[in-house]
Amino acid sequence: MSFHWPVLLWTLLIVPLTLAALLRADRRRARRGGYADPELMGSVVRRAPSARDRWIVALQLLALTLLLVAAARPVAAPPLPTNQAATVIALDSSKSMLADDVSPNRFEAARKLAIEFVKDAPRSARLGLISFSDVASLLVTPTTDHAKVLDALAKVEPGDNTSLTAAVVGSVRLLPGRHGARAPAALDPAAQASTPPTTAPAPAKLDAAPGAVLILSDGVGNLSSNPRLSQEQALTLAARFARDNAVTIDAVPFGQDGGAITRLNGQDYFVPYSPQNLERLSELSGGDTVMPGDAKAVRRLARKLGTRIRWVPHSMEVSGLLSAVAVALLLIAGGLGLTAHRRVP
């Protein structure tokens, strides 16, 4: 416990001084009683304090102590149940998401589902947002201001290529407690190793609540940070990086089996659909893959990702609480006085 005004704690000396004064007064009254007329003794000498009288004095002194402590404005940090949920929504904004095999197209369908997810999530959940194409772009850091996330979703524009590994690494690093998480060197664009490792580094010890990433994509990954790695190797490293940092990856794939022929910039292109890439990320990280047409499953996903309760210390001033307890003690003491002596002590 700390205090805003610790110097006022010196006023606690009033309590022992008051107690000493009360004891001294009782002794003086007892000595003076010996000089009184025996017939008037009952009127002059007070009877010995009863157990109830001692309780009254004790309650009054305790109330005084609490009021003096409250004057110093104490601050406590009790552990309180707090929603530590943090989820990053990773929205695929690559050109492949403009395929119209999903009405009106994959991108708009994914955006609509992201909006529904935000609206279904508990208000206390912290939600973040990135969009990814060639690179992952931070749009909103995890916050309980869901209106900010919805506003950013409305402004996302399609880009070019798709890097699923950049989406995973960027999302994990955006979650609370993981900003300095070290990704495998093979996923780092600056890595210059001639033979990149195919396993993730040993996980660091984290003191962070579990986090989650929700990827909304068609699963098509056509851009790699390291051409020496196959798509499968890169996704495996990304999933293990998430898992080692206590992050699960949930995914919602958009598209139709077999892909689609879509006209972009006046030309027809074949746009593939690769849900198996998203399924691999989810499976290796301990998450789920949910189909966008399953509305109930999507709502369950929002509730699951939106509530992770932990006991977290919260600093709060308790002077008001101490004052309230002191007043209650004084009322009890007053009630005891009325029943014992028909007067308030």
Q: Per the structure block, which two tokens stand in for 28?
A: 């003086």
Do residue 106 and residue 137 come from a single domain?
Answer: yes
- The residue with tokens 């790699």 is 224
- Which residues lie across from 251 on neighbouring strands? 215, 289
H helices of the chain, in order, are 14-32, 41-44, 51-71, 106-120, 146-154, 164-174, 231-244, 275-285, 295-306, 319-341
Domain containing 112 — which CATH number?
3.40.50.410
Do 241 and 303 belong together in one domain?
yes
State pLDDT tens for residues 79-101: 776 666 789 999 999 989 999 99
Q: Identify whether 190 is part of a domain.
A: no
Give me the pLDDT at residue 306, please: 58
101 domain-assigned: yes
Output the DSSP codes for 162-191. Answer: --HHHHHHHHHHHSTT-TTPPPPGGG-TT-
Which are the contacts of 136, defined by CB distance < 8 A and separation ≥ 6? 90, 130, 163, 166, 167, 169, 170, 171
The pLDDT confidence band at residue 105, using thresholds 50, 70 and 90, is very high
Per-residue pLDDT, 174: 92
Range of the domain at 169: 81-184+199-311
Q: What mean pLDDT do residues 146-160 have?
A: 92
Task: Quote the Cα angle for 271-276-278, to 5°.
Answer: 90
Which tens digits make up the pLDDT trace of 11-22? 999 988 988 888
Q: What is the mean pLDDT of residues 189-204?
A: 45
Q: What is the model's pLDDT at position 149? A: 96
Residue 96 lies in a domain: yes
Residue 199 has which token pair? 């396993």
Residues 227, 125 share a domain: yes
Tens digits of per-residue pLDDT, 279-300? 999 999 999 999 988 878 887 8
Q: Which amino acid is at 232?
A: E
Task: Return contacts of 293-298, CB within 8 angstroms, 24+ apart.
Answer: 298/113, 298/116, 298/117, 298/120, 298/252
Indicate if 244 and 166 belong to the same structural domain. yes
**What is the pLDDT, as a whole number, of residue 191?**
46
Is the pLDDT reported for residue 154 higher than 90? yes
Q: What is the mean pLDDT of the chain?
A: 82
Q: Is residue 192 part of a domain?
A: no
Distance from C-alpha of 137 to C-alpha of 144, rounded to nearest angstrom? 20
Looking at the domain assignment, is residue 165 inside a domain? yes
The predicted pLDDT at position 25 comes to 79
For residue 162, is it within any domain?
A: yes
Res 342: pLDDT: 67
Residues 107, 230 within the same domain: yes
Q: Residues 179, 185, 189, 195: what is their CA dihedral angle, to the nearest 10 degrees?
A: 180
Is the pLDDT score of 165 beyond 50?
yes
* 273: confidence class by pLDDT, cuts 50, 70, 90: very high
* Residue 68 belongs to some domain of the structure: yes
Between 8 and 44, where is the model more confident? 8
Is the pTM for the entire model greater than 0.75? no
pLDDT at residue 207 tops 60: no
Residues 87 and 176 in one domain: yes
Whether residues 166 and 262 share a domain: the answer is: yes
Give the lowest-confidence range in 39-53, 102-116, 260-274.
Answer: 39-53
Claim to verify: residue 158 and residue 111 sit in the same structural domain: yes
Query: pLDDT grade, residue 218 (50/70/90)?
Result: very high
Regarding whether 229 and 159 lie in a shared domain, the answer is yes
Q: How far is the C-alpha of 84 from the C-alpha of 228, rounded, in Å?
A: 38
Nearest to 117 by CA among 330, 323, 300: 300
194 found inside a domain = no
Is residue 319 located within the same domain as residue 225? no
* 94 and 242 assigned to the same domain: yes
Angle at 159 between CA 156 and CA 162, to 5 degrees: 115
Helix or strand holding residue 267 (H, E): strand 267-271
- Are residue 121 and residue 248 in the same domain, yes or no? yes
Confirm if 280 and 235 have CB atoms less than 8 A apart.
yes
Domain count, the chain: 2
pLDDT of 199 strictly over 70: no
Full DSSP string of 193-219: -SS--SSPPPPPP--S--EEEEEEE--
pLDDT of residue 298: 80
Q: How far apart are CA 166 and CA 236, in angstroms?
A: 13
pLDDT at res. 43: 52
Enter the DSSP assignment of 47.
Answer: P
- Judge whether residue 196 has pLDDT over 50: no
Average pLDDT over residues 46-71: 82
